Structure 1
Amino acid sequence: MTSSTARLDGLDLARYLALAGMVLVNFRLAMQPATKGPLWLEGLFGFLEGKASATFVVLAGLGVSLATRAQVPVLARIWMLRRALFLLGVGMLNLLIFSADIIHYYAVYFLLAVPLLHARLAVLLAAMSAVALTSWLALLYLDYNQGWNWTALLYTDLWTPTGFMRNLLFNGFHPVLPWLALFLFGMLLARLPLQRAGTQWILLVVGLLMAALASMLARWYQPSGLAWLLGTAPLPPGPFYLLMGMGSASFTIGLCLRVASAWPSGRWHFLLPAGRMTLSLYLAHIVIGMGIMEATGALDGSRSLTDAMLAACAFLTLATLAAWAWSLKLKQGPIEMVMRRLTAVHQRDVTAPG
Structure 2
Amino acid sequence: MSSDDRRLHGLDLARYLALAGMVLVNFRLAMAVEADGGGVLAGFFHLLEGKASATFVTLAGAGLMLATQRQAWWQASMQTWRRAVFLAVLGLLNLTVFPADILHYYAVYFAVAVLWLRASPRVLLGSMIALATVSFWALLRWDYSQGWNWQTLAYEGLWQWPGAMRNLLFNGFHPVLPWLCFFLLGMLLARLPLSQPRVQRALLLLGLLLMGAGQALQQWGHGTAWQLWLATQPMPPGPAYLLTGAGAACALIATCLWLVRLHPGDWLEPFTAAGRMTLSLYVAHILIGMGVLESLGLLDGNASLSWALMAALLFVMLATAAAWLWSWQFARGPLEAVMRRVAG
CA distance in 2, matches of 1:129, 1:213: 15
CA distance in 2, matches of 1:268, 1:2: 15
Runs of 4 or more above 6 Å deviation: 34-38
Determine the structure 2 residue equivalent to 1:133: 133
Larger CA deviation: 323-332 vs 268-277:
268-277
Q: Does 1:160 align with 2:160?
A: yes
Residues 76-109 of structure 1: per-residue CA shift (max 9 Å, x gap): 0011110000000000000000000000000000
Determine the structure 1 residue equivalent to 2:242: 242
Q: Would the alpha carbon gap of residues 35 and 167 (structure 1) be closer, same or farther in structure 2, given more than 3 Å must change?
A: closer
Q: Give the superposition deviation at 1:266.
A: 5.8
Residues 261-308 of structure 1: per-residue CA shift (max 9 Å, x gap): 000116233211111110000000000000111111110111111111
Contact 1:37 1:306 in 2 (8 A): no
Determine the structure 1 residue equivalent to 2:83: 83
- 1:296-335 equivalences under 5 Å are 296-335=296-335
CA distance in 2, matches of 1:34, 1:61: 31
CA distance in 1, matches of 2:37, 2:312: 15
Contact 1:105 1:175 in 2 (8 A): yes
- 1:1-354 equivalences under 5 Å are 1-33=1-33, 39-265=39-265, 267-344=267-344
Contact 2:35 2:42 in 1 (8 A): no
Q: Give the superposition deviation at 1:122.
A: 2.6
Could you say what secondary structure the match of 1:246 adopts?
A: helix
Contact 2:35 2:46 in 1 (8 A): no
Residues 192-247 of structure 1: per-residue CA shift (max 9 Å, x gap): 11010000111111101110111122012111101000110000000110111110
Aligned residue type for 1:256: C
CA distance in 1, matches of 2:123, 2:42: 41
Could you say what secondary structure the match of 1:18 adopts?
A: helix
Unaligned runs of 5+ residues in structure 2 are: none
CA distance in 2, matches of 1:85, 1:153: 27
Q: Give the superposition deviation at 1:35.
A: 8.7
Q: TM-score, length-normalised on structure 2?
A: 0.98
Aligned residue type for 1:51: K
Number of equivalenced pairs:
344
Q: Percent identity among equivalent residues?
A: 55
Unaligned runs of 5+ residues in structure 1 are: 345-354
Larger CA deviation: 88-97 vs 31-40:
31-40
CA distance in 2, matches of 1:37, 1:276: 36
Could you say what secondary structure the match of 1:229 adopts?
A: helix
**Over aligned residues, Cα RMSD in angstroms?**
1.3
CA distance in 1, matches of 2:5, 2:34: 45
Q: Would the alpha carbon gap of residues 269 and 232 (structure 1) be closer, same or farther in structure 2, given more than 3 Å must change?
A: same
